[in-house]
Amino acid sequence: MSTIHNIAINGPVWRLSSGEAMRLPRESRARWLRLRSGRLWVTADRHPNGGNSDLLDDCWLGAGDTLRLEAGESAVAEAWPSASFEVLEAAPMR
């Protein structure tokens, strides 16, 4: 099994203020949310085609925490009260 460190490329740092939310749409590759500071409330849609409320997963992330989103999953992240985070992606297959 691979780790984030050897299959991820760094992305930009996103910043959300109190009450701001950001949608992370479905992607064809796995991604990781890595929280740098603050707290995030994340609702991940674990159903690859969407539309099934039984597969929604709510969780809190604190500074240093990481959450994996599989290929085909989407999420909404909301700052509580503020947060900065990175979205890391799996390297493309060659």
Per-residue pLDDT of the chain (94 residues; tens, 9 = 90+): 333 333 344 458 899 999 899 999 998 889 999 999 999 999 998 776 655 555 678 999 999 999 999 888 999 999 999 999 999 887 776 6
How high is the pLDDT of residue 90?
75
3-class state of residue 12 by DSSP: coil
How high is the pLDDT of residue 51?
56
Q: How many CA atoms lie within 13 A of 71 on its CB side?
A: 5
Q: What is the pTM of this model?
A: 0.75
Tell whether the torsion through CA atoms of 43, 48, 49 and 54 is positive or negative. Answer: negative
3-class state of residue 4 by DSSP: helix
Which residue type is seen at 93?
M
Which residue type is seen at 63?
A
